[in-house]
Amino acid sequence: MSLGTAKRPVTVNVLAAVLSFEAAILAAVTVFLVAETAAQEAEFLASSLALAGLALLGAVLLALVAVSTLRLRSWVRGATITWQIMQLAVAWVFLQGDIAVWAGWALVAVSLIGLVAAVHPATGRALHRDDDEVEAGR
């Protein structure tokens, strides 16, 4: 199936946009972590590089989910809902602190938009695959 927008509801496009935005932010975090590790002597170099590697892996996987959303793959709802819930947990940690409360609220907003788009009935219909389609390998 092509990435054309003819058969995709707005909620699917919103979901893909949210996931793409999250992937871009996580990629930026990866660049920041690598730059910080390179700019100063890391006390725990292996841990710093492992954290940057995990952030990069997360960015790549989120980008994969975003593209798969545009391709109307049925499995993306579960991955998206799981990610948004995990992100809400991270937001909660930010909201408990004193330094970046704004980042916590931003995470809450993005997560809620992603959750609403993922569970919206139009998204469910668009991502639903009939048994005949699964058997035919489409």
- Expressed as residue numbers, the domain containing 112 is 11-137
- pLDDT, residue 58, reads 96
Residue 25 domain-assigned? yes
Q: Comparing 42 with 59, which gets the higher pLDDT?
A: 59
Residue 123 domain-assigned? yes
Count of structural domains, the chain:
1
Cα 122 to the center of its chain, rounded Å? 20
Residue 70 domain-assigned? yes
Residue 3 domain-assigned? no
Residue 30 domain-assigned? yes
- pLDDT, residue 92, reads 95
- pLDDT, residue 68, reads 96
Residue 24 domain-assigned? yes
Least confident of 3-7, 76-80, 121-125: 3-7
Distance CA(132)–CA(138), nearest Å, equals 9
**44 band by pLDDT with thresholds 50, 70 and 90:** confident
Distance CA(59)–CA(45), nearest Å, equals 21
Q: Would you say residue 15 has pLDDT above 90? A: yes
Q: Would you say residue 59 has pLDDT above 90? A: yes
Q: Would you say residue 72 has pLDDT above 60? A: yes
Average pLDDT on 5-12 reads 83
Computed on alpha carbons and rounded to an integer, the radius of gyration of the chain in Å comes to 17
Q: Which residue has the tokens 């700019």?
A: 39
